[in-house]
Structure 1
Amino acid sequence: MDHCKDFSNGQLINFLTEKRFRPLRHAFFLTGFFFLLYGGDVFQEFPAPAAYYVLTIIYCTFIGMFYLNMYVLVPVFLFRTRYLLYILFLLLLVYTGIQILGYFHANYFDAHRLHELNRRKYSESYYAIIIICASLISVSTTVKLLQRWIMDKERITELKNLTYSMELNELKNQVSPHFLFNMLNNVKALIRTNPEMASIVIMKLSEFLRYQLYENNGEKTLLASEIDFLLNFLNLEKIRKDNLQIIFENPINQTLQNTTFIPLGLFTVFVENAIKYSVNTNEEATYIKIDLKVENNMLHFNCINSKSIDIPVFNNKKGGLGLANIKRRLELLYNNEHKLNITSSANEYTVNLIIPL
């Protein structure tokens, strides 16, 4: 029931504000107002030929006031915050309309009335004119204000979406240079110790760049593609570090992986940090454990890496560029519908991210 009511209200607002309904709006108003006057007591006070003239004069006067307020006074004065001038010209418009009707009343209407007006009838006629003027002005002003409000609301929404899109793209584009910078440092170190292995790493790196530049230009990517990307990334590190143990748990079925889309590069920064801080200065074995699973239409990403007490992990309040960017991206993408928990103990660094699918 509430849904039907909201739908009806939405249709009414669209009818009153959208440009495509403008001819229909005017036709509806002009016809409705004409029949409103036609159903009055004009034909009881005037003979048939004169009644039509009286009806036409009253109709044209009120319609003129209605459209002068809607298309001249409101846009020129009210919308430009010239409130005093708007009130003055509005009073002048009402005064002019009453004077026009008063002129015809004295010089034409009274001469053709079937019955002479007494004082009470004259007062009632005068107050009726005031009420109609106030009603028409209120309707015309309300419609223009509603149209203006809808237009401003649409502009604000469009501006927010544009700002959101620009900020999101900027943050996403900052991740790729950050990732490339880390990889080039890895290659530089490997060239000195194992040039042949460095060549393999460079080939793998070219596959990464091809993936990011040509195969994944959209806002989202398949979950399967992102998983392959992470596995290739980790395998590169495994090639470079013999003492690095990688455990990647992924019980998500292949069909779901190939039909689920997630924002590009959400996990890359966390994996980069895991690789960066899993280094052990004593050349002892290190590890990175990644677990992906889907529960209740939520994707759970858990990354645990060993860390050396000799290498301090950065302060979360300050953070690195990549981590700060990914936190901001998550806020923009999910609007607090996600959960990100980062903890650090003496020997491990843990990232737990939950996002809706």
Structure 2
Amino acid sequence: MKSNKEKYSFLPDLLTKKRFEIWRHIFLILSIAIIEMNSTLITYGKNYSILENKIYWIILFSLILDMTIIYFNLYIIVPKLLLKSKYLQYTVTLLILITFSIVTNLGFEYFIFKPKNTIFDSSLTFYSEINLIIELVRSFLISGIYIVGISMSVLFKSWLMNIQRINQLETEDLRSQLERMKEKVSPSFLSRILKKSASLAISAPEESSAMLLNLSKILRYQLYDCGRDKVLLSSEIVFLTNYLSLEKNYLGNFDFIINKNGDMTHLFIPPLLFLPFIQQSIISNHELNNKLILQLSFLVENNLLQFSCISNNVENINYSQVNHRLELLYHNKYSIKIQNEKELTIQIAV
């Protein structure tokens, strides 16, 4: 059974993917052929006994001429002018093409009708001045509508491909950021925690064992949970608790408090979403070499997740380098505030 995502992506795939290209061309040719056949039969069908099989030559010639104009527009004019935003040049070129198409078509009709020396009332486009003007306007409008329509479909396809390309770049950027965050947790973090644990193995074996247990939980979370697009908020908080416990054991002059309010049972967020902000606070304090107390709060209320990180003595923390991931993930569905240069608050629509 196909997922909703696969179903919804069928139309964009149909318009943009290479494997559907032959079907797009078949649909285009059949559509133009049906239009030309209907138009010609409506105009000259009542004179079929006079024209005989030449009516099919009119249909064939009109189809070949129109497809030549359409594909010339599709592969030459649109890429070189329209997609490069040269709208005036494109409009002028398109008008010239349509005029050429109409004049050529009328010339072929004259070639077909002249040997018969027949007057077809209003069907003969060059029979009178009024009929000629009406035919020119009609042909110009019809040709313009389907050529411009095809050009718009190319623009739409180009827009879809750009959107897909942007989404792909954003996804790759998010993955690379996630990988960089994993690298911050290890191997440097792993190395210093193992060294600290080894130094405590004899003097404080219980503390050393607790550190190794927390480290194993962190690595397991990284290995299994961080490979998913979303994780439970409760699991993320457990991970942060284990991570901060190890930092507390390693640094010595560091402590933390985590407060939770609201129903977090079924709330999912991207993995390691808040870790960079916490790390930035710890790094800033490490440069000052002061005792740091971090107070973290998670509040879920009215479809909003509010995360706050309050530092007791670290000021002017630069978060600009770590909030880019929030922008990619949530666009305009989040807000970030810094109060008193010590308190960071993030609100996310969930």
- Shared fold by TM > 0.5? yes
Q: For the structure 1 residues 230 and 306, does the alpha-carbon distance in structure 2 shift closer, same or farther, using more than 3 Å as the test?
A: same
Amino acid at match of 1:212: Q
Is the CA contact (8 Å cut-off) linking 2:98 and 2:140 kept in structure 1? no
Aligned residues: 321
Partner of 1:176: 182
CA contact (8 A) 1:223 1:260 kept: yes
CA contact (8 A) 2:32 2:63 kept: no
Contact 2:174 2:328 in 1 (8 A): yes
Change (3 A) 1:216 1:41: closer
- Partner of 2:259 in structure 1? 249
Give the structure 2 partner of residue 222 of structure 1.
232
Q: Deviations over 1:289-343 (max 9, x none)?
A: 2221111111111222322xxxx64x44xx3xxx444311011111132122234
Describe how 1:170-209 pairs up with structure 2 within 5 A: 170-180=176-186, 181-182=188-189, 184-185=191-192, 188=195, 196=205, 197-198=207-208, 200-209=210-219
Show the counterpart of 2:151. 145
- SS of match in other structure, 1:340: strand
Letter in 1 for 2:245: N
Q: What is the deviation of 1:66?
A: 1.8
Asked if structure 1 preserves the Cα contact closer than 8 Å seen for 2:336 and 2:345, the reply is: yes
Which amino acid in the other structure matches residue 346 of structure 2? L
| Residue 100, structure 1, aligned to residue 108, structure 2 | yes
2:62 is matched with 62
Give the letter for the 1:65 counterpart: L
Alignment match, 1:352 = 345
Q: State the alpha-carbon separation in 1 of the partners of residues 196 and 122 from structure 2.
A: 109
Other-structure match for 2:273: 266
Structure 2 segments unaligned to the other structure (5+ residues): 1-10, 82-88
Deviates more, 1:95-104 or 1:141-150: 95-104
SS of the aligned residue for 1:247 comes to strand
| Aligned residue in 1 for 2:335 | 339
8 Å CA contact 2:225–2:271 kept in 1: the answer is: no
Matched residue type, 2:177: L
* Distance apart, 1:274 and its partner CA: 4.4
Counterpart in the other structure of 1:7: none
Question: What SS class does the counterpart of residue 211 from structure 2 fall into?
Answer: helix
- Cα deviation for residue 159 of structure 1 reads 0.9
The alpha-carbon deviation at position 199 of structure 1 amounts to 5.4
Aligned-pair Cα RMSD in Å: 4.0
Conserved 8 A contact 2:297-2:308:
yes
Q: 2:295: which partner in 1?
A: 289
Kindly state the Cα deviation for residue 239 of structure 1 after the two structures are TM-superposed: 4.0
Q: After the TM superposition, which of the residue ranges 208-217 and 268-277 deviates more from structure 2? A: 268-277
Mean Cα deviation higher: 160-169 or 272-281: 272-281
**Cα 1:104–1:36 shift into 2, 3 Å:** closer
Within 1, Cα distance between the matches of 2:288 and 2:197?
A: 17
Q: Which range moves more in the overlay, 272-281 or 212-221?
A: 272-281
In 2, Cα distance between the equivalents of 1:124 and 1:176? 77
The secondary structure found in structure 2 opposite 1:326 is coil
Higher relative contact order (CA 8 A, sep 6+): 1
The answer to whether the aligner puts 1:50 opposite 2:50 as a matched pair is yes
Equivalent residue, structure 2, for 1:330? 326
- Which string of whole-angstrom CA distances, capped at 9 and with x for unpartnered residues, describes residues 153-194 of structure 1? 111011101111111112222112223335644554665565
Range moving further from structure 2, 186-195 or 160-169: 186-195
Question: How much has 1:229 moved relative to structure 2?
Answer: 0.4
- State the identity as a percent: 18
Equivalent residue of 1:353, what SS?
strand
195-204 vs 223-232, greater mean Cα deviation: 195-204
Structure-2 change in CA distance of 1:280 and 1:76 (3 Å): closer
Q: Distance in 1 between matches of 2:329 and 2:125?
A: 71
- How far does residue 264 in structure 1 lie from its aligned partner after superposition? 0.9
Over 3 Å counting, the alpha-carbon distance change for 1:35 and 1:192 in structure 2 is: closer
| Cα distance per residue 1:251-310 (max 9 Å; x no partner) | 334xx42x22101111212333444566799997x5332221111111111222322xxx
- Per-residue CA deviations over 1:51-89 (Å, capped at 9, x if unaligned) read 555644543443332222112454234533496887766
Bigger radius of gyration among the two: 1
**Partner residue in 1 for 2:5:** none
Instruction: Give the match for residue 6 of structure 1.
Output: none
Q: Which amino acid is the alignment partner of residue 332 of structure 1?
A: L
Alignment CA distance shift 1:206-1:88 (3 Å): same
Match of 1:298 in 2: 304
Q: For the structure 1 residues 223 and 21, does the alpha-carbon distance in structure 2 shift closer, same or farther, using more than 3 Å as the test?
A: same
Helix, strand or coil: the match of 2:348? Answer: strand
Asked whether the 8 Å contact 2:258–2:295 carries over to 1, the reply is yes
- Kept in 1, the 8 Å contact 2:217–2:242? The answer is no
